[in-house]
Amino acid sequence: MQLGKIVGTVVSTRKDEKLVGLRFHVVKFVDPDGKSTGSFVIAVDSVGAGVGEVVLVAAGSSARQTKTTEGKPVDSVIMAIVDELEIDGKTRYLK
């Protein structure tokens, strides 16, 4: 999974019919120190995450293993909200 921070949202009315009702978030990828890696992804929310939260994003067919995304044309899903991230025994991020 990639570590990311939700920074925005995408609105789309014309889309595949299976996508109706899904929320699309703009997720900026970050390193363990919270610094942007320079890339981002549009991911479907499956856990009620909101702008500003640090999350985990699963990609590929694994992105379709949630109830929200099963069988849908979705290749990136937010499947966890990060509470704490610890590196070498030190807390780097705490919600």
- Tell me: does residue 30 bind a copy of itself (CB under 8 A): no
- Tell me: does residue 23 bind a copy of itself (CB under 8 A): no
Beta strand pairing call for 36-45 and 54-59: unpaired
Beta strand pairing call for 24-30 and 90-94: unpaired
User: In the complex, what is the shortest distance from the CB of residue 58 to a copy of itself, in angstroms, rounded to a whole number?
Assistant: 5
**Rounded to whole angstroms, how far apart are CA atoms 72 and 17?**
9
- Tell me: does residue 21 bind a copy of itself (CB under 8 A): no
- Tell me: does residue 87 bind a copy of itself (CB under 8 A): yes
Could you give the C-alpha distances from 42 to 30, 35, 63, 90, 91, in angstroms and in order? 14, 18, 12, 30, 28
User: In the complex, what is the shortest distance from the CB of residue 71 to a copy of itself, in angstroms, rounded to a whole number?
Assistant: 6
The residues binding a copy of itself (CB under 8 A) are: 1-3, 7-16, 18-19, 24, 26, 31-32, 40-43, 46-49, 51, 56, 58-66, 69, 71-77, 79-89, 92
